[in-house]
Amino acid sequence: MLAKFRPASAKKLTEKALEIAGIQLNGNNLWDMQVHDDRFYRQIYARGSLGLGEGYVGGAWDCDALDDFFYRVLSANLYRYVTKNSRVWWAVIQAKFMNLQSIARSTQVGEAHYDLGNDLYRAMLDPTMTYSCAYWRRAQDLDSAQIDKLDLVCKKLNFQPGMSVLDIGCGWGSFAKYAAENYGVSVLGLTISAEQLALAKVNCRGLEVELRLQDYREINTKFDRIVSLGMFEHVGPKNYLRYMQVLADCLTSNGLALLHTIGSNKVYASSDPWITKYIFPNGYLPAIQQIAKAAEGKLIVEDWHNFGADYDRTLMQWWRNFNDAWPNLRNNKVYDERFYRLWRYYLLSCAGAFRARDLQLWQIVLSKGGVPGGYHSVR
């Protein structure tokens, strides 16, 4: 069927679909798609989101405001229309991830994404190098919003001096450092990225913090509190039961855990191929029912906080930081013009998805056996 599909027909179908979202081909609005190569239309039709993303990175099309482009596509539920028309935009709308996170494969995302270079992340992130959604309830800048997020987690878990804390997916050590310095707790942080580990050890030097290059499934020690910020997206559905069992086994009888994760509005069987190939190998975004089912019989859900709209603002600031730093970053042979376009597409398409509320950000507080008298939510 694809062989019979003419380029002119692909262009007409694409144009008709985009009109539903208020987007014009080669129009004058910032969110309009500017196509430079008519062969690109068949690429979308034949390869879906992979074709769309590769077409952008390869220069076949441009858009001044990619975030608005994706916001409009998602808000218009465009995929429902085009699914009836040969699935031209299938998977463009939903950037969901695969379940390939065995222990043997768990380091792949670290090598492919988190080990790209600490200079990149220093330039893009806030000074604490926190690579997860910031909390913008009162903050006016990224630095304050990330500190507020770290403090929110500490308050939700009611940290007390001397408590032991497991940080699953500790990144560059931002949470471990903040919690140890401000709340007097001792932290064991786990990461699967060698680059993160090296810098985290420097950042946490002199504190009650131990950091390891280790998979969460290899831990069997008891902790008063467990924290996981932006790591659950790499666990995968086949491992959800195991993950929750690790939390239950590693918590003390009156312990609490906090799970901070991007979430999907529904269960998807597969991931977006562009995100999987170029950004986050082996990832998957969980839906509410998947998390709840995995926790069932092991942990009690005490609190479920959604501030997904804050990720739009966070991603936009990361994009501005990255873009401002690009003149210096481009001097590194690792980061060429293709990388610039790839990273722009990644950050701005995700911002548009959160703006459209197609993706969520959840902080979930879990207890081992229920908080006596009930848990009091913190916002």
The angle at the Cα of 161, spanning 229 to 222, to the nearest 5 degrees, equals 60
Distance from C-alpha of 41 to C-alpha of 212, rounded to nearest angstrom: 47
Q: With the CA atoms of 167, 170, 175 and 179 taken in that order, what torsion angle do they form, in degrees rounded to the nearest 10? A: 40
Distance from C-alpha of 264 to C-alpha of 286, rounded to nearest angstrom: 6
- In the set 154, 170, 204, 350, the catalytic residue is 350
Distance from C-alpha of 153 to C-alpha of 179, rounded to nearest angstrom: 9
Distance from C-alpha of 129 to C-alpha of 306, rounded to nearest angstrom: 22
Distance from C-alpha of 191 to C-alpha of 176, rounded to nearest angstrom: 12
Listed in sequence order, the residues at least 6 apart from 219 whose beta carbon sits closer than 8 Å to its beta carbon are 166, 188, 190, 246, 250
Q: Is 350 a catalytic residue?
A: yes
Distance from C-alpha of 219 to C-alpha of 42, rounded to nearest angstrom: 49
In DSSP terms, which residues pair with 127 in a beta bridge?
none
In DSSP terms, which residues pair with 256 in a beta bridge?
225, 367
Distance from C-alpha of 122 to C-alpha of 130, rounded to nearest angstrom: 10
Catalytic residues: 350
